[in-house]
Amino acid sequence: MSDVQIHPTAIVDPGAEIGAGTIVGPYCVIGPDVVLGQNCWLQHHVTLCGPMKAGAKTDSTRTAPSANKHRI
C-alpha cells in the first residue's frame, strides 16, 4: 500500500488490498477480500464488504447505474 492515504477514523481490514495513490476518507470501513485499484477515492462514510473489486480511479461520489451492481 504505497502512497495510500487513510484517514485516522477509517477502518481497513488487513486482508484488503488497496492500490497506490488511493485516498480513504473519514469513517470509511473496508472489509476483508476487498480489492481497490490505483488512485481510487473513497470520500467519507463509505463501507465496502468483500468479496469485491473496484477498478482504478473509482470515485465514491458516483454510483453504479444499475441496482444489480455494487454502489460505492
pLDDT value for 30: 96
Task: Write out pLDDT tens, residues 35-66.
Answer: 999 999 999 999 999 899 888 777 766 554 44
d(Cα 16, Cα 26) in Å, to the nearest integer?
A: 17
Is residue 2's pLDDT more than 90?
no
Query: Per-residue pLDDT for 28 more than 80?
Result: yes
pLDDT of the residue at 71: 47
